[in-house]
Each structure stands twice: as structure tokens, then as C-alpha cells.
Amino acid sequence: MSNQLSPREREVLGCLAEGLPNKTIADRLGVADSTVKIYVKAILRKKGFSNRTQAAIWVKDAEIGRLREGLIEIQQLTYQAPTEPPDQEASTIHKIAMRGLQEPVGEEEGS
């Protein structure tokens, strides 16, 4: 029997890494709770985990490893100055996004 995860099992594993409960995973994927339980059991069996927490930690560790690899690649790149002026539309969108980040969150007018 293969220990490779199916595409759907990888989706479920990603949801486990987010800390989602079976009901939420089922709603997100459009399947029954019992189907999610089957996927979780298959993931645990194929990868040799004792519980869903171990599975989630495994995913997070792998993400950190990929991030570290990416940082090493970024540090090895050399900077090249842009050859064209910045796109005005992109600059405007950036300014709007930054302004939105600076506004207080959760406060409504008149409160």
C-alpha cells in the first residue's frame, strides 16, 4: 500500500494544519463529516502519525523548511534597479491598501 497522499487527502491535511475541526473541513470541501474522518484516518495511517496534531505539526515544519530555503535563495539574488518608472495604477492601489491598513479596525461611525 502506498504512503502517498491523494490530492483530496492533501487538502484535508492542509485544513488540519490550519487547526480546523472536521465539521469546518467538511463544509469547506463540500463533503460529509464522516468522509472527513475517513480522510483523516487515512492520512494518519499513511504517514504514521498518532493524531491530527502530529500531522499539523509535520505540515508546519515542512512550511518552515520551504520558507528557509526561499530565504536562502533570496539572499543569493543580486538587486537590479527597475528600468521603467513604476506603474501609476499599481502605485495608486498600493497607496489605497496602505491607507486601509492605517485606519482603525472594528470602529464604526457614530459609536
**Contact in structure between 55 and 43 (CB atoms under 8 Å):** yes
What is the residue extent of each domain of the chain? 1-65
Check residue 3 and give its pLDDT: 77
Report the distance separating Cα 93 and Cα 95, nearest Å. 5
Check residue 92 and give its pLDDT: 53
Q: What CATH topology corresponds to 1-65?
A: Arc Repressor Mutant, subunit A (1.10.10)
**The pTM is what?**
0.58
Residue 35 has pLDDT above 50, yes or no: yes
